[in-house]
Amino acid sequence: MTPERRPDGDLDRSPGRDQDRRVDLHAHTTASDGSLRPTKLVAMAGERGLAALAVTDHDTTAALDEAAAAAAQHGIELVSGIELNVEHPGRFHLLGYLFDPNEDRLSHRLTYLQEYRASRNDRMIEKMQAGGLPITLADVIAEAGGGLIGRPHMALALMRKGIVKSTQEAFDRFLADGGPYHVPKEKVTPEEGIRLIRQAGGVPVVAHPTTLRLAPDALEAELRKLKDIGLGGIECYYSQHTPEQQQEFVDIARRLDLVATGGSDFHGASKPHVYLGGVVDGRGVPYAVLEALRAARE
């Protein structure tokens, strides 16, 4: 069947509309801060009966090759994805879908972001050592799953050393934005992020809009500006949205003619309350959402 395209954000719940094919468009692997290797994540998507999965690691596409190979084995469609950190007074994450991970400008920029992160980790550890905290890069690496390293791993290392009792205490005392040992990451601007994903043939989507920390009117105004420069969708269906938030974002997507997308933001052990496919009615987003994203490619 041809799924009806409804980029206005309405989920078509009428019978016979292929409701049984579900997708999860937001999940992390060990290439960033998820706890499952790409192969394991895809196997779990198979167990959950998902028809398609987007792997959306933070600032890296390193998991996509392994995930694609596993997806072929399980008969699942693998959607190339990413979640970029974007400059913003709030927390702005930009998802990208259906792009070519080998496109030059995108892959060069991602390489730079990863190198910058590594040097930033070094600087944060130097600052902690200078401040008298006995923590080394090796301690931090030991807490990571072999992928990207960041503050959560520093927090775990500090806890393992008995310097703090919880990872939250590590953030509150040392690692939070503006904290004594924090060094900012390099991020893309909204314009650059949108351009990078579009240039690589993909569709940019604002993730979990609540974290932009904008009132509804300001949020809609901001999304309208982003749409003018190439934004394709809004993540409306999300494991941590209330029904009211979901409706607010679906309404904005409809008014701005943006695709209403969704995903769980599965991370595994570090977010144990979030499960793969855990969005909409707990089974994932209808496949028609992926079709709408395809239609939104340029």
Interface ranges with Zn ion (CB under 5 A): 28, 33
Taking the least distance from each CB to ligand AMP, the nearer of 100 and 186 is: 186
Q: Is 34 in the site for ligand AMP (CB under 6 A)?
A: no
Taking the least distance from each CB to ligand AMP, the nearer of 86 and 293 is: 86
Length of the chain: 298
Q: Is 93 in the site for Fe ion (CB under 5 A)?
A: yes
What tokens appear for 154 in the block? 């520093």
Q: Is 145 in the site for ligand AMP (CB under 6 A)?
A: no
- Kindly list the distances between the CA atom of residue 67 and the CA atoms of 52, 74, 161, 219, 281, in Å, as whole numbers in the listed order: 12, 10, 35, 34, 25
Strand 92-97 relative to strand 77-86, pairing:
antiparallel
What tokens appear for 193 in the block? 């992020």
Q: Is 267 in the site for ligand AMP (CB under 6 A)?
A: no
Taking the least distance from each CB to ligand AMP, the nearer of 34 and 38 is: 34
Q: Which does 37 bind (CB under 5 to 8 A by kind): ligand AMP, Zn ion, Fe ion, none?
A: none
Tell me which stretch binds Fe ion (CB under 5 A): 30-38, 79-87, 99-107, 286-294: 79-87
User: Please, which residues have CB within 8 angstroms of residue 200's CB and are 6 or more apart in sequence?
Assistant: 96, 99, 100, 101, 103, 105, 106
What is the side-by-side strand order in the sheet with 285-286? 259-263, 233-238, 203-206, 92-97, 77-86, 52-55, 22-24, 285-286
* The one among 152, 202, 209, 232 contacting ligand AMP by CB under 6 A: 152
* The one among 7, 34, 145, 150 contacting ligand AMP by CB under 6 A: 150
Is residue 51 within 8 A of residue 78, CB to CB? The reply is: no
Q: Is 24 in the site for Fe ion (CB under 5 A)?
A: no
Shortest approach of Zn ion to residue 14 CB, angstroms? 35
Q: Which of residues 33-62 bind Fe ion (CB under 5 A)?
A: none
Q: Is 209 in the site for ligand AMP (CB under 6 A)?
A: no
Tell me which stretch binds ligand AMP (CB under 6 A): 14-22, 96-104, 149-157, 289-297: 149-157
Q: Which of residues 155-174 bind ligand AMP (CB under 6 A)?
A: 168, 171
Q: Is 151 in the site for ligand AMP (CB under 6 A)?
A: yes
Shortest approach of ligand AMP to residue 181 CB, angstroms? 12
Shortest approach of Fe ion to residue 81 CB, angstroms? 10
Q: Is 242 in the site for ligand AMP (CB under 6 A)?
A: no
Shortest approach of ligand AMP to residue 125 CB, angstroms? 12
Nearest to 96 by CA among 107, 109, 84, 88: 84
Which residues lie near ligand AMP (CB under 6 A)? 150-152, 168, 171, 176, 185
Residues that bind Fe ion (CB under 5 A): 83, 93, 207, 265
